């Protein structure tokens, strides 16, 4: 029992995470977090073997690329929006659209270039139309007309539209830039369920656009037009550039072209093989660095320190659409309140105090336009129930206010997830007194009562962390079980969703498990466990209790089981964080008790190297780091960690080559 008390103390200084960890990617400040620039034309016509009647493929010699020609006989090119919006239900709040086109005839009436349409009502959600004298951009029920005369000649043109905040910007060939105010609720949450993209048309009529389309690119995220259009000084026309002959083309969609002709200056193109947007600058196709552009990580540098009211064992970074980026730190045991910070002028600055009691983890989620934060409170002692709290964002006051409390037992973690439109919040209850075999509870949002009610209890063993993930539309939750009163070497469990309940899927032997991290690489699915502590008969001499092996598992689809994939030696590892930077995949492991006392005590960044698996590429000598998170701002990628021992947490910035 004495050993157990020590462990309780030990575990108090370890964090768990509302690992509402986006399963795949860095969290971007938009509802759709996993989108890269997309060529909608390629989505509509994946191969050149199946082209709808009335649409033909033509070769554009001047820019060495194919384009689609639409005749009056053209059948609609369309596809369901969920083909690309797989995991988000709302259209990105901030986005850009680029259309590279050439018009063939004088327009007699309005022609529709492209639209997003509600399948059930035929209502247009977003569209771009051409009239004789204007380009018309429609967003929800708002229409913006931009007068133009660029379509007089037989030339290629690039139209760009960017929606960000309360403005929409339209550019033609990067030269002419027009801006309009948009009155819209922010976030507007344009629903994407049961909608379709239609190319060369609007609604369910036949295609009416008459001309050529070369690219139709959707870029989620902030003002891509500004980033894509080269600065003015580069925009002189240069007709000395030589163009390459046809033989230079290697693929029907994206020839390996390097040089572009003067007629392409200001035009842009999309490389489907690398998901890159390229723009023609002074005769060279230049890659554009949009935040999702592929970048190579070079090194990390300390960026700035965040002074928290107390040592903190968890940090949660989230974006409130229309408000900005926030980070909330879980204040350490016995030291009182937690603090919310807001990103202002490239720094996290103090924003609001939040009452907590030995907070262990924060979790942000959104239900129907309402923003929430849930905190798992350890409480004052394992012998007493604690109150864990859900806070709700008050839109007028712009502050979080207490909304609902749950009775919890030494709560370690909240995990939010959504299944079939229903919202769930799972708490990891660690122990009641000396007993670590306690029920952890999954709560479900009751839409009529507007609060969470108990949904399912699952017996857990010194639980630390819930992690939700989805594989092929199947929902899973994994519990990290840390200690059964005798040993840390016990089973952690994965459950999966079947007939409206969670049922056991698989157990894995873990050693003082405190965190699960799920991620996918090239269609393979992985789960990494952080094993924090080695205590019990297997280590009766109590030797090197913090040295453990943490395991990365990979899903075997045939056998339907996660199998050991790689064993990583760790030192009191309590958190894994998966980060994707450009085309590279990284894992950061937090070696919590480190303070730069030795090489092996540093937190380590591993890079995915295919056959070589995860290879350590950086050692980060930091303050005692408990929990790592990543976030992006514009093109910058940051890591942030909570300091479990002192009130100085840190932000680290990724540098790129
Ligand atoms: C989408 O439409 C189909 C039928 O067209 C319907 O079965 C389905 O429930 C709809 N989905 C949603 C989310 O409304
Ligand atoms: C939890 O909240 C209830 C109701 O507000 C209160 O009576 C109780 O003392 C609280 N428990 C703790 C441990 O703070
Ligand atoms: C949810 O709200 C209803 C109605 O306001 C209330 O009766 C109920 O106690 C609440 N449930 C919880 C778990 O707080
Ligand atoms: C970790 O695994 C290695 C071999 O993979 C083994 O030699 C070592 O003893 C293990 N360490 C612990 C603490 O289990
Ligand atoms: Ca986790």
**Whose C-alpha lies nearest to ligand 1, atom 2?**
194
43: enclosing H helix or E strand: helix 40-44
Domain end among 199, 225, 251: 225
102 and 16 share one domain: no
Look up the CATH number of the domain holding residue 140: 2.60.120.200
Over residues 54-75, the mean pLDDT reads 75
Distance 449 CA to ligand 2 centre (A): 22
As a whole number, mean pLDDT of residues 279-284 equals 58
Ligand 4 site, residue 547, Cβ cutoff 6 A: yes
Domain boundary among the residues 203, 225, 247 is at 225
- Sign of the Cα pseudo-torsion (207, 211, 213, 219, in order): negative
215 and 172 belong to one structural domain:
yes
Distance 79 CA to ligand 1 centre (A): 15
Average pLDDT over residues 422-436: 95
Average pLDDT over residues 496-512: 94
Q: Is the CB of 274 under 6 A from ligand 3?
A: no
Residue 233 C-alpha to ligand 2 middle, in angstroms? 65
Q: What is the pLDDT of residue 226?
A: 62
pLDDT, tens only, 460-480: 999 999 999 999 889 999 999
Q: Are residues 357 and 340 in contact, defined by beta-carbon separation less than 8 angstroms?
A: no
User: Nearest ligand, CA of residue 529?
Assistant: 5
In a domain, 237, yes or no: no
pLDDT in tens, 357-403: 999 999 999 998 899 999 999 998 889 999 999 999 999 999 999 99
The Å distance, Cα 464 to ligand 2 centre, comes to 23
Whether 453 lines ligand 3, by a CB cut-off of 6 Å, is yes
Average pLDDT, the chain: 80
What is 347-377 written as a DSSP string?
Answer: EEEEEEEE--SSEEEEEEEEETTEEEEEEEE
Identify whether residues 364 and 461 lie together within a single domain: yes
CA distance 629 to 607: 16
Do the bridges between strand 347-354 and strand 338-344 make them parallel or antiparallel, or are there none, so unpaired?
antiparallel
Q: What percent of the chain has pLDDT over 70?
A: 77
Residues 334 and 203 in one domain: no
Which range of residues forms the domain containing residue 19? 2-30+294-656
**Contact indicator for 630, 27 with CB cutoff of 8 Å:** yes
Whether residue 538 has its Cβ less than 6 Å from ligand 4: no
Q: Is residue 487 part of a domain?
A: yes
């Amino acid at each position: 029992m004495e050993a157990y008390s020590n462990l309780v103390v030990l575990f108090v200084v370890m964090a768990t995470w509302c690992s509402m960890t986006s399963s795949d990617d860095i969290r971007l400040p938009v509802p759709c977090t996993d989108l890269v620039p997309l060529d909608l034309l390629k989505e509509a016509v994946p191969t050149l073997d199946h082209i709808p009647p009335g649409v033909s493929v033509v070769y554009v010699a001047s820019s060495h690329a194919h384009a689609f020609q639409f005749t009056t006989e053209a059948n609609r090119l369309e596809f369901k929006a969920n083909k690309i919006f797989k995991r988000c239900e709302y259209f990105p709040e901030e986005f850009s659209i680029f259309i590279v086109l050439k018009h063939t005839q004088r327009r007699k009436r309005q022609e529709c270039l492209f639209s997003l349409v509600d399948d059930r009502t035929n209502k247009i959600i977003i569209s771009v139309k051409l009239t004789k004298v204007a380009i018309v951009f429609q967003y929800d029920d708002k229409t913006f007309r931009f007068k133009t005369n660029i379509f007089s000649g037989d030339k290629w043109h690039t139209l760009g539209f960017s929606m960000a905040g309360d403005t929409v910007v339209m550019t033609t060939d990067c030269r002419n830039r027009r801006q309009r105010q948009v009155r819209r609720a922010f976030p507007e949450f344009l629903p994407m369920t049961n909608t379709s993209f239609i190319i060369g048309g609007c609604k369910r009529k036949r295609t009416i656009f008459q001309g050529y389309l070369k690219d139709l690119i959707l870029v989620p995220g902030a003002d891509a037009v500004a980033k894509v259009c080269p600065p003015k000084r580069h925009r002189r026309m240069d007709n000395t550039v030589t163009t390459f002959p046809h033989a230079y083309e290697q693929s029907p969609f994206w020839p390996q072209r390097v040089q572009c002709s003067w007629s392409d200056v200001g035009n842009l193109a999309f490389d489907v093989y690398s998901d890159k947007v390229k723009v023609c600058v002074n005769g060279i196709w230049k890659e554009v660095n949009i935040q999702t552009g592929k970048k190579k990580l070079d090194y990390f540098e300390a960026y700035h320190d965040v002074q928290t009211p107390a040592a903190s064992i968890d940090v949660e970074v989230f974006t409130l659409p229309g408000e900005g980026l926030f980070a909330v730190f879980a204040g350490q045991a016995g030291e009182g309140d937690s603090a919310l910070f807001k990103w202002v002028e490239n720094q996290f600055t103090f924003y609001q105090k939040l009452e907590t009691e030995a907070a262990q983890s924060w979790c942000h989620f959104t239900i129907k336009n309402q923003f929430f934060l849930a905190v798992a409170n350890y409480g004052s002692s394992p012998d007493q129930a604690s109150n864990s709290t859900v806070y709700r964002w008050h839109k007028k006051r712009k502050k979080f206010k207490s909304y609902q409390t749950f009775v919890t037992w030494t709560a370690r973690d909240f995990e939010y997830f959504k299944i079939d439109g229903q919202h769930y919040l799972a708490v990891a209850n660690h122990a009641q007194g000396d007993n670590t075999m306690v029920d952890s509870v999954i709560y479900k949002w009751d839409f009529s009562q507007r609060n969470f009610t108990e949904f399912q209890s699952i017996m857990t063993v010194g639980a630390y962390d819930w992690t939700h993930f989805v594989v092929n539309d199947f929902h899973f939750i994994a519990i990290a079980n840390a200690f059964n009163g005798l040993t840390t070497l016990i089973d952690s469990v994965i459950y999966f969703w079947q007939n409206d309940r969670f049922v056991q899927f698989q157990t894995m032997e873990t050693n003082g498990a405190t965190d699960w991290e799920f991620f996918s690489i090239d269609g393979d699915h992985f789960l990494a466990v952080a094993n924090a502590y080695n205590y019990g008969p297997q280590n009766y001499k109590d030797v090197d209790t913090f040295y453990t092996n943490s395991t990365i598992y990979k899903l075997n689809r045939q056998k339907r089981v996660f199998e050991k994939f790689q064993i990583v030696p760790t030192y009191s590892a309590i958190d894994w964080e998966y980060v994707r930077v450009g085309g590279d995949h990284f894992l950061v492991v937090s070696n919590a008790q480190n303070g730069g006392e030795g090489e092996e005590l540093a937190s380590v960044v591993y890079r995915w190297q295919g056959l070589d698996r995860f290879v350590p590429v950086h050692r980060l000598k930091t303050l005692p780091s408990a929990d790592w998170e990543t976030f992006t701002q514009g093109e910058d990628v940051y890591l942030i960690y909570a300091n479990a021992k002192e009130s100085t947490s840190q932000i680290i910035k990724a540098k790129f080559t």
